[in-house]
Chains A and B, each alone.
Chain A
């Protein structure tokens, strides 16, 4: 606003003798990203509303493509990568050009970035409902799309951004740019390393990590997706748009420095707090907790700098919807970043984990912080990019109030639901028995809260609709042709000399030289030098992020005692493997965990707690993060085949009050037996010890096991038809593969060594042995009653 000389106005008296460059900013690309933000904001929140409704009305799942398990990832991906993603890009493209006094380096890359990203979103919207998924939260998209993401992020966005930095005309980089740098570098690292897979066809892959290690990588990614996709870029956004809108200087430059570097360094460590009490090694879990606690103040540094920048501008907040959105957004940021460290405390997490508390936490962050910061930015931007007045400030203010009410109506009942369910799970009666032994009781008691959420979500979506109207009407009032102001600024001259460094403020006092140097260092002039060296700055950000990651990840992979071997844990049979892939494709992990924590209420309900060695063939891991249904880590053998047959067809027929949708398509769809060899080859390449015979005959082995399961099923319930009305044989259906997998889950731990050794051989001969794989009833016959004895060489202690 000070150095932009609009084309019509007289050139400012840039009296310096330097040659001035003339250039203009590319606001066309900003308009594109702003529109995409609006559209995907509507789509993402509507998808959220639909999954919220499907959750309370599971009988409305009238086709498989809209089941909760498939649609919920679509909602999260749309909200994060489509809505928040495009908002980030709009912010970066608008502010970077102005902060660098330079047009984006390449208009072509800008457009490739825009259209590439939208294409990725469309690909996500098609593949996720089809059940094409990697099942790692917020990293569900399959490998071809992952490659596209890496290309667009690094090759188009990253290159364009960093070249703009290098070609800038502003000597020093403002704090917003630091946050953008951290975002681009770290998201690239996270995305690439979490998505390393071995493909088994175009639409299926297996991660190179298994079990505990896969979980560790995923939550290193998942937590830092929150950090570097939903936090750092939005802090950058805040640092540009909030002082712009408030027309006030930023509260503290020094706080910017300290909280930037501490945030970037400490955030990376915090991932394991998503895995407290799991089979993850205790040291990693503790690191996750303490670094989360240390993250509290760095996060609040951002909040303080935001809110205190408004000193002297509070009277404007009363009238300006933009500032209203920013104030509430930053406040929600402060609340979430207090709540985050609190939830990372192990004993709090024992209560909150797997409950709606987590859902409420992320929505106070997503709706409050990301949503409201985005809305504030858009309302500030609209008059500027469309070069006219905002159509209705009143409507924007209405959006603010209805949105705020929507957030509260969403999160308050969901906090109540989380606490209610968490407390019910762990409640014991005075005699020491589970007070709510039936899992479904803990669901039916919170369904009213879920209904209230539908109301809150509807209000929030209504607010976005109001913004869409305002957006459209403002756009209609745009000028016939946009005025493209010509900006003049001198290029950066070579031979710049930094001003002389500060003196120690302790000079002359009786202190050591060290104290004097410390005082000079503390005045951070060295940082001022870094701020004009984008390459050096970026290299340091990269080092900080990699070093912090390496401290946690390398020991997780290298220390053997983190995952003590359990001899009886064997690879999945061909049928179980493809059945597991169906479990993944249906998104079962969205509602069911497979991780029993060593908490007594939990082992009472679900069985022996999970051990790290049980998951060495689990690619991807399926520990889950929310229990809308019960844990399934020991589901194998817990129910008969016949029960599963009834349950998948109509869950409420055997479990009154269940909110699980029915899965009729499993009964009619034939299993793709032909795809089994490729799947077997992929997991064998990753270390599953299959014999050459097994690999060569995997398809046939799967048929043998399927026929065996059908035989047992018919023994249990002779009324089940072997062939359906369309001529599909029961033994060829997807259902049988899924049952095969489910009956295997968690049983190897109790298998006896002889049995585990005998089993693959028997199948290798293609026999339809009458022995169900790893039936716990048989193997444990010698165990003393009342105590499940862990197999030999299992050690629980993993402290280094």
Chain B
């Protein structure tokens, strides 16, 4: 201490050469402190983080378009939909289209991803049915024609037992391709629940 109001002594052994580093006159319960300056790299990184922050705010928050998170999301969505569907455009929701894609292994795999994301927990990994009905046999509950599958996917059925997917599948092609995949499950021989609903005629043959 600089003032003699305390009977504090300096530690007996001075471990550091005072020539090299300056000790302050502080001593608390025997703890001393050096008067070392701030490390240069520390100071400059600290100052650098300030400047980076200013740059960051100007770049993202001064009104430039296309830089908000929502804008970036829209760009990403557009990119991916283009990647997915540039080749086939916007599909029509009709019998011919569903039948066509039911027989197209490349696009069936897209339907399969949609099925895996959304449908397996009720209809089972192979379509054999869990809480929901078996999709592999010839008995169907709300489907007479192949395009009814798309209707059921979009609007649901049986008072919520089958939920509606209209708000969840964000592109019409996803409805068509998932309907095509579901149609393709028929007759795959998966073990599952016993048949429910009515016996319906086979799906139409592909025109191609």
- A residues contacting B by CB (< 8 A) are 1-3, 12, 14-16, 18, 20, 95, 98-99, 101, 169-172, 174, 239-240, 243-244, 247-256, 258, 262, 277, 282-283, 286, 289-291, 293-294, 296-298, 300-301, 304, 312, 346, 428-429, 431-434, 437-438, 488-490, 492-493, 496, 499, 598-600, 603-605, 607-609, 634, 637-643, 646-647, 653-656, 712, 715-717, 743, 750, 772, 775-777, 780-781, 783, 785-788, 796-797, 799
Contact of A437 among B4, B45, B113 (CB under 8 A): B113
Query: Contact mask B7-32 → A, CB, 8 Å, 1/0?
Result: 11101000110000001101111111
**Is there contact, CB below 8 Å, between A3 and B8?**
yes
A545 to B42, CA, bound (A): 24
A766 to B80, CA, bound (A): 48
- When C-beta atoms are compared, the residue in chain A nearest to B87 turns out to be A431
Given contacts A294-B53, A496-B5, contact A249 B39 (CB under 8 A): no
Note all chain A residues with C-beta closer than 8 A to B46. Answer: 262, 294, 297-298
A783 to B38, CA, bound (A): 63
**Is there contact, CB below 8 Å, between A293 and B162?**
no
Contact of B83 among A312, A432, A776 (CB under 8 A): A432
Supply 17 further A-B pairs (C-beta < 8 A) apart from A251-B34, A655-B121, A781-B155.
A1-B30, A98-B29, A249-B15, A250-B31, A255-B38, A290-B56, A293-B49, A296-B49, A429-B113, A433-B109, A599-B73, A639-B121, A640-B160, A646-B130, A775-B164, A785-B166, A796-B70
Among A18, A244, A432, A788, the most chain B Cβ lie within 10 Å of the Cβ of: A432
Among A12, A254, A298, A750, the most chain B Cβ lie within 10 Å of the Cβ of: A254
A655 to B124, CA, bound (A): 9
- When C-beta atoms are compared, the residue in chain A nearest to B27 turns out to be A2
Note all chain A residues with C-beta closer than 8 A to B208. Answer: none
A294 to B63, CA, bound (A): 24
Given contacts A253-B34, A434-B117, A637-B163, contact A489 B6 (CB under 8 A): yes
**Is there contact, CB below 8 Å, between A254 and B120?**
no
**Is there contact, CB below 8 Å, between B30 and A2?**
yes
21 A-B residue pairings within 8 Å (CB atoms): A2-B8, A2-B30, A3-B6, A12-B7, A98-B29, A170-B6, A174-B31, A243-B31, A252-B33, A253-B26, A262-B46, A291-B53, A496-B5, A605-B117, A654-B121, A654-B122, A654-B131, A777-B163, A777-B166, A786-B169, A799-B68
Q: Which of B94-102, B170-178, B183-191 contacts A (4 or more CB under 8 A)?
A: B170-178
Given contacts A171-B1, A433-B110, A786-B171, contact A14 B122 (CB under 8 A): no
**Is there contact, CB below 8 Å, between B161 and A716?**
yes
**Is there contact, CB below 8 Å, between B53 and A293?**
yes
Question: B156 CB to closest chain A CB, in angstroms?
Answer: 4
A641 to B131, CA, bound (A): 10
**Is there contact, CB below 8 Å, between A3 and B29?**
yes
Question: A84 CB to closest chain B CB, in angstroms?
Answer: 23
- When C-beta atoms are compared, the residue in chain A nearest to B46 turns out to be A297
**Is there contact, CB below 8 Å, between B110 and A712?**
no
A654 to B123, CA, bound (A): 9
Note all chain B residues with C-beta closer than 8 A to A99. Answer: 28-29
Note all chain B residues with C-beta closer than 8 A to A654. Answer: 121-122, 130-131
Query: Contact mask B61-86 → A, CB, 8 Å, 1/0?
Result: 10100001110110011001101100
**Is there contact, CB below 8 Å, between A297 and B130?**
no
Note all chain B residues with C-beta closer than 8 A to A639. Answer: 121-122, 131, 163
Given contacts A293-B49, A301-B42, A312-B16, contact A783 B166 (CB under 8 A): yes
Among B4, B70, B125, B131, the most chain A Cβ lie within 10 Å of the Cβ of: B131
Question: A532 CB to closest chain B CB, in angstroms?
Answer: 11
Note all chain B residues with C-beta closer than 8 A to A247. Answer: 15
Question: B113 CB to closest chain A CB, in angstroms?
Answer: 4
**Is there contact, CB below 8 Å, between B56 and A286?**
yes
Note all chain A residues with C-beta closer than 8 A to B52. Answer: 290, 293
Question: B82 CB to closest chain A CB, in angstroms?
Answer: 8
**Is there contact, CB below 8 Å, between A433 and B167?**
no
Note all chain B residues with C-beta closer than 8 A to A493. Answer: 5
A488 to B6, CA, bound (A): 10
A76 to B60, CA, bound (A): 36
Note all chain A residues with C-beta closer than 8 A to B93. Answer: 785
Question: A635 CB to closest chain B CB, in angstroms?
Answer: 10
**Is there contact, CB below 8 Å, between B116 and A438?**
yes
B89 at the interface (CB under 8 A from A): no
**Is there contact, CB below 8 Å, between A170 and B50?**
no
**Is there contact, CB below 8 Å, between A282 and B69?**
yes
Main secondary structure of the interface of B (DSSP, over half): mixed
Note all chain B residues with C-beta closer than 8 A to A18. Answer: 5
**Is there contact, CB below 8 Å, between B36 and A286?**
no
Given contacts A304-B39, A428-B80, contact A312 B15 (CB under 8 A): yes
A357 to B78, CA, bound (A): 30
A296 to B69, CA, bound (A): 25
**Is there contact, CB below 8 Å, between B156 and A3?**
no
B159 at the interface (CB under 8 A from A): yes
Given contacts A3-B7, A253-B33, contact A776 B164 (CB under 8 A): yes
**Is there contact, CB below 8 Å, between A638 and B45?**
no
A695 to B76, CA, bound (A): 46
Among B9, B35, B117, B171, the most chain A Cβ lie within 10 Å of the Cβ of: B117
Question: B110 CB to closest chain A CB, in angstroms?
Answer: 6
Question: A170 CB to closest chain B CB, in angstroms?
Answer: 6
Note all chain A residues with C-beta closer than 8 A to B36. Answer: 251-255
**Is there contact, CB below 8 Å, between A603 and B170?**
yes
**Is there contact, CB below 8 Å, between A777 and B155?**
yes
Note all chain A residues with C-beta closer than 8 A to B168. Answer: 607-608, 634, 638
A297 to B53, CA, bound (A): 14
Question: A97 CB to closest chain B CB, in angstroms?
Answer: 9
Given contacts A298-B46, A434-B117, contact A716 B23 (CB under 8 A): no
- When C-beta atoms are compared, the residue in chain A nearest to B54 turns out to be A290
**Is there contact, CB below 8 Å, between B171 and A642?**
no
Among A249, A251, A258, A640, the most chain B Cβ lie within 10 Å of the Cβ of: A249
- When C-beta atoms are compared, the residue in chain A nearest to B55 turns out to be A290
A290 to B114, CA, bound (A): 38
**Is there contact, CB below 8 Å, between A286 and B60?**
yes
- When C-beta atoms are compared, the residue in chain A nearest to B122 turns out to be A643
Given contacts A637-B160, A716-B160, contact A297 B6 (CB under 8 A): no
Contact of A642 among B27, B84, B131 (CB under 8 A): B131
Note all chain A residues with C-beta closer than 8 A to B109. Answer: 431, 433
**Is there contact, CB below 8 Å, between A256 and B160?**
no
Give the residues from 107 to 164 in chain B that come closer than 8 angstroms, CB to CB, to chain A.
Answer: 109-110, 113-114, 116-117, 120-122, 125, 130-132, 154-156, 158-164
**Is there contact, CB below 8 Å, between A490 and B121?**
no
